[in-house]
A and B are shown apart, each in its own frame.
Chain A
Amino acid sequence: MPIITGSKSDAEYDVVIVGSGAGGGQMAYTLTLAGLKCVMLEAGRAYNPDVETSMFQRPDQTPLLGVATPDKQMGFTDATIDGGWEVPGEPYTQASTKPEEHFWWWRPRMLGGRTNHWGRISLRNGPYDFKPRSRDGFGFDWPIRYADLDPYYTRVEMLIGVYGSNEGLENTPNSPPGVLLPPPKGRAAELYLQKHAKKLGIPVISIHRAVLTRPLDADTIPARLHPGNPWAQRIVADSMRRRAACFWATDCHRGCNIRANYQSTTVHLPPALETGNLEIVPNAHAREVTLGRDGKANGVLYIDKKTGQEARVKGKVVVLAASSGESVRILLNSKSAQFPRGLANHSGLVGKYIMDSVGASVSGQIPALENLPPHNEDGAGGPHLYIPWWLYREQLGGKFNFARGYHVEFGGSRGMPGGRSPLPDDLARGTYGTKYKEEARRFFGSQVGYTCRGEMIPNENSFAELDPQVKDRWGIPVLRWHWRWSDQELNMVDHATKTFAAMIGAMGGKVRSRQDRSSRDAIEPGGKVIHEVGGALMGADARNSVCNGWSQTWDVKNLFLSDAAPFPSNSDKNPTLTIMALAWRTADYIVEQARKGNL
């Protein structure tokens, strides 16, 4: 990656972008290729996946066999730097002392944010997902329709590269022909489930993930992404040619030094830097957005973490993409006479309606999968197949006591062992010696796990506000979280865990996890699935939303949000592809409005 310089404090940029993850990366990509001068503030350090990624290291070549520790909270080789559930010196607090009302907040501090280690699952929202209230009366509709985002989903898929298949299932959109990359072959446990789930009427299909199963077509895609802009096409083509296809080994959570999967640092930022229109300032922790006399945002105050001093960048437009929670925090901390409750917060809704995905898991053991002939199942470093929500009609017909769907992600294959015993105690019982080693070999690859990713309905009890007392190490007020699941989510978990037990049963297997748990015990705590969205909802009306359908705040017209903060709902589909599609659309709007002199 080209060299990153510190910013010149007196320059005025066209756009100040805060955050370099999925939202900030896409924003910088689109704006700089359209010719706008941008500066990007990133709280974490610079990061270069080309040389910093752990690829083929075995667990015995890492400390503590690579297991998670308080320093590296998803394991040693995981591509998360200086963060996790906790960031030293940057606390967050909980309003309640009850653990079930706590929110878990995952924050890396590095260039590229969570995109360096995310799971790469890239599902489109379907048409229902933009109009949930119209469909079932709960939550909020988006001010935009599927048709508004469809072309942007297509562009993002072409740029980052997404494998998958078009199955034409309800509310599970197809991509245009030729856009998706070939899906990888099913693994044994995935295909075995597919066969037996059929008896239960459950479809198992190819998942969509941002991994290159073949090289991107650098000869044709750039022209489709940037018609009429040969300069942009050349830059994007060069960047695409630097990305290799997946070589079917290594864990994508470590990142990818051949650039075969999507990370902001390998896909969005290199071409953006190549334009010469982007300056990235790492170790720059944004504190607040500053407001001019004209009521427009005119820059961002940040802490230069290297010196601890406050500094400032100026811009004609400000885009917050610091992750939904952190963007909310910046807004709430940007107080002025005009905005005593925080910037763009005339509605009082900044921080409200935080959502995560509903998570719950069941594990099992399948005798038919025991003692299979050894074969390589590393594949594309993540899942190949999944179960989309399949009961739309029944649900709308009032058959269930929960209104929204979930999809199912799988664990369990002959993946790389290490860090923990492949033979759990409940299967090993009292064995040791050669018998133990034989049992380990027998059971390897026969343990399965199913986890739901479900849609939470936004509620009044799940929100974030500034803690009145606690500040971070720079004296900036921190977020205090409130969290409550409703019966909607608990009932969904009940359905999911029973369904997973039935799937395991249909394969002739045994459930291994505890079955006597209530759904309150089975549901993951809020935030734990790391799909947090909301807090600055988009809507059709300034009185009951924070921004419009362009993610432009109602109150400050040159202030935009390009992470998940504007999401009015959190469909079961993982949020990141939608973050990127929205960011591209918002960027196009910024370019157009800037050209018209409207910002």
Chain B
Amino acid sequence: MKTSQRNGIRDTVNALDASRLSRRTVMKWFAAATGAANLPDLGPGVFAASSSVTAPPTTHGYGTDPDVSGYYKPGDFWPLTLTAAQRETAISLADVILPADHLGPAASDVRVTDFLDEWLSAPYPAQQKDRTVIMPGLQWLEEESQRRFQTPFKSLGKDQQRVICDDICWPADAAARFKKAAEFFVRFRTLAASAYYSTEAGWKALGYVGNVAMTSFDGPPPEVLTKLGIEQTVK
């Protein structure tokens, strides 16, 4: 009774043509729902990037009836499109944001860049909108690195990387010329963290210990109840 993914995809593609108008509406809802609608208008400079940097992928999605009981990895549904250079910049920046430390491994150790690549290569509107922010942002980062240190971002020392990041890490505090870059940074940070905290290592870093079958549910342990000054009232 399981419909194959391929079928699901073919059906959707056909059906889409029949209802283009309302589909556009849904895409708008989605852009709004995922917060992508709050993204900045792209101003002049690198951020008004050439279409070769931001050109959206032209593949189809996974359709309305994919096999959800499967286990997937980036690249299973649509091709990954980041260039080797873009991936290197992304890995370096992700590792500055989510380094290896006492809380766990670095972003690069849990394939965060693969997820970013899958995300930025996806055929859906919210992800394509992110692409128009992230791709120029990665390019900006390389140019800024060259401008300041005449070195690719990945080859900078940690302190040098931080010098740039400190200028762009929070839009409200960023100088006018760094505003766009700061908006890129914050969005990139969100995407990298979304991927990182979707992994087992990320769960550990956060203190999430569920997704395991148990024979009973006992509620918060005594030390939690004590810390909060509460009692278990459900007996």
Contacts and interface: CB of A to CB of B under 8 A. Distances in A.
Contacts of B137: none
Contacts of A188: 220, 224-225, 228, 230
A473 B2 contact: no
Contacts of A59: 198
B84 interface: no
B1 A48 contact: yes
B68 A77 contact: yes
Report, as a range, how many residues of chain B touch the other chain.
Answer: 35 or more
B16 to A, nearest CB: 6
Interface stretch (A286-294, A330-338, A354-362, A433-441): A433-441
A369 interface: yes
Interface of chain B, main secondary structure: loop
Given A63-B76, A76-B68, A384-B234, A372 B189 contact: no
Interface in B189-223: 189-190, 193-195, 197-200, 202-203, 205-221, 223
Interface in A408-426: 414-423, 425
A52 interface: yes
A191 B233 contact: yes
A206 B12 CA distance: 42
B140 interface: no
Contact of A56 (B30, B119, B124, B211): B211
Contacts of A183: 234
A440 B221 contact: no
Given A52-B2, A375-B220, A376-B209, A432 B165 contact: yes
Contacts of B30: 68-70, 73
A72 B205 contact: no
Contact of A192 (B19, B118, B230): B230
Contacts of B165: 432
Given A60-B198, A417-B208, A437-B205, A249 B214 contact: yes
Nearest to B60: A71
A560 interface: no
Report, as a range, how many residues of chain A touch the other chain.
Answer: 35 or more
A67 to B, nearest CB: 7
B176 interface: no
A445 to B, nearest CB: 8
A259 B148 CA distance: 61
Contacts of B202: 417
A368 interface: yes
A596 to B, nearest CB: 39
Contacts of B12: 71, 88
A194 B233 contact: yes
B74 to A, nearest CB: 8
A72 B66 contact: yes
Contacts of B234: 165, 183-186, 206, 384-385
Q: Which of A76, A385, A417, A434 has the most CB of B within 10 A?
A: A417
Interface stretch (B39-47, B48-56, B98-106, B149-157): B98-106
Contacts of A79: 68
Given A60-B198, A434-B103, A422 B224 contact: no
A391 interface: no
A434 B97 CA distance: 8
Contact of B208 (A83, A85, A89, A416): A416
A401 interface: no
A281 B195 CA distance: 41
Contacts of A385: 234
A66 to B, nearest CB: 8
Contacts of B175: none
A47 interface: yes
A341 to B, nearest CB: 27
B67 to A, nearest CB: 8
Given A51-B2, A86-B22, A377-B210, A71 B62 contact: yes
A436 B189 contact: yes
B57 interface: no
Given A247-B214, A422-B193, A437-B101, A417 B198 contact: yes
Closest 4 CB pairs of A and B: A88-B15, A185-B219, A430-B170, A374-B207
